[in-house]
Amino acid sequence: MAIEFTKYHGLGNDFILIDNRHQSEPILTLQQAEELCDRHFGIGGDGVIFALPGQNGTDYTMRIYNSDGSEAEMCGNGIRCLAKFIADLEGVNAKTQYRIDTLAGVMTPELLADGQVKVDMGIPRLLAAEIPTTLDSPDRKVVELPLEVAGQSWSVTCVSMGNPHCITFVEDVSAIALETIGPLFEHHAVFPQRTNTEFIEIIRRDYVKMRVWERGAGVTLACGTGACASVVAGVLAGKCDRIAAVELPGGILQIEWSQADQRLYMTGPAVQVFAGKI
């Protein structure tokens, strides 16, 4: 069976987008998605994203399979790419704002006039049970608690954006050996569903640098949910402002944790790379 796809990236975090509007379950298996993400034997990507029919009053449903053959609840860069993909599919009938159902809840991306996409990412979940992590009691926030990884004690803050994040602040993000330390964080026993891990260098209160090890994808050039979680962690730790630019290897995301409604808003690009059939 031939499958049409379109490749997009958000700050270098790249995805294979598939029009799956004709049925409510993804047309590929997890194993097939893993094979397509292989950069040598497949199309290549950090994940496969399916545009499925909407449910519960939404316009569309998003499902995302990671490059390691697991499924993620949501992806910040991915949902911006999905919004652009949907608008391209709809053509002249395209809207500028969509309500998209995900495993992490309903997200609302808005296509801006300058080509950027702004996404209402919802309210962060901060209690240990919501992450989930066993670093503290279930009803407590995990803010700058010690975690031993690779024989070193790291001060970590945990946030869920519908998917788990462990954030640690460092002096120099370029000095972190992500390929070595990332898997040890991801699979640490205190994270029963594994975790994304963000290493953050504070440049100014409104500007930070971030490198990320993504659960299920490894080293990536950007992570939208991670950028959101990192600003939340910075605010909780008293290190950064509620509106901040997050510099990732693939570019910059603008993040706002609104004081008014406690929701997170992420703004960044989504770019079509090429389309094909496999």
Distance, CA of 10 to CA of 79 (rounded, Å): 9
93 pLDDT tier (thresholds 50, 70, 90): confident
Contact predicate 257/108, CB 8 Å:
no
Judge whether 4-121+269-277 and 128-262 match in fold: yes
Look up the CATH superfamily of 128-262: Diaminopimelate Epimerase; Chain A, domain 1 (3.10.310.10)
SS3 81: helix
Closest CA to 68 of 242, 180, 210, 186: 186
Per residue in 73-90, pLDDT tens? Answer: 999 999 999 999 999 999
Q: Is the pLDDT of residue 1 over 80?
A: no
Q: Which tokens belong to 111?
A: 């296509």
Q: Give the Cα separation of 202 and 222 in Å (integer).
A: 17
Q: Which residue(s) pair with 47 in the sheet?
A: 15, 66
Mean pLDDT of 132-140: 98
pLDDT digits (tens, 9 = 90+) for 138-184: 999 999 999 999 999 999 999 999 999 999 999 999 999 999 999 99
Domain 4-121+269-277, second-level architecture: Roll (3.10)
User: Could you give the percent of the chain with pLDDT greater than 90?
Assistant: 98
pLDDT tens digits along 242-259: 999 999 999 999 999 999
Where do the structural domains in the chain lie, given as residue ranges?
4-121+269-277, 128-262
Give the active site residues.
75, 223
Give the chain's radius of gyration (CA, Å).
Answer: 18
